[in-house]
Each structure stands twice: as C-alpha cells, then as structure tokens.
Amino acid sequence: MTDWNYHRENMETFKQYWEEEVAKHPAFALCYRLQTVNFPASLNIIGSKAFSFCPLLEDLYFNSYTPEKINIANDAFDEHIFNTAIVYVPEGCVDAYRASSSFSKFKHICSIA
C-alpha cells in the first residue's frame, strides 16, 4: 500500500485546500473513512466520481453564496449520499441551494449557524 493509499483510506476530514476545479476527477474516491468535506467559496466544479466509494461521508460544507455557479456531476457522489449527507450552506442561502439544479438531489440542506 502506498502512502497516499494509506492516507486516503484513513482520511476522516478534508478542508478547503484545493483550487476551484481540483474535484474534476475522482481524487477523493475510495476515501472510505471520509466523513466531512469543507468546500471553498471558489469551488465551481465537482466532477464525475469525485467522491465515489466514500460511504461515511455525512457533512458537506459549501461556502459559496452563489450555488448556481457550482456544477456537480450526477455521479459525483454515491447515490446514498444524496439521501443521507447534510449539506451546510451560508446563512440565508438554503432556498437558493434547494432551487439550484446541482443541489436538487440532496435531501438535507441547512444553514451554517
């Protein structure tokens, strides 16, 4: 097992240390223990299978006030994540995120308080 595989398989939290489009590829796929991701306000793309096989993913923090600028591939997350994960968004933005086509599959969207 390479060092990256070890870290990927044991990663529980990932904070916003990437550029706006780094999630275009499955960089976080197979992060079996990943539970929390904090996306930067500058994020505009989450690509195909970016977070596939992350079964424990439960807290997604989006810091953008403009959800319509974020493009999420239909298969960016495993299907169950859309039903179980909680999407946290800036205060006053819940309705905008719910109305956004990229976030319409998520069942749980609430304000960061």
Range of the domain at 58: 3-111
What is the total count of domains within the chain?
Answer: 1
Helix (H) or strand (E) holding 24: none
Q: Which residues pair with 110 in a beta bridge?
A: 88
User: Does the pTM of the predicted model rise above 0.85?
Assistant: no
Domain containing residue 85: CATH number: 3.80.10.10
Which range of 18-32, 36-50, 89-103 scores highest in mean pLDDT? It is 89-103
So what's the pLDDT on residue 66? 96
Contact by Cβ (8 Å): 51, 24? no
- pLDDT, one tens digit per residue, over 22-39 is 555 677 888 888 899 888
3-state helix, strand, coil in the chain (%, to 5): 25, 20, 55
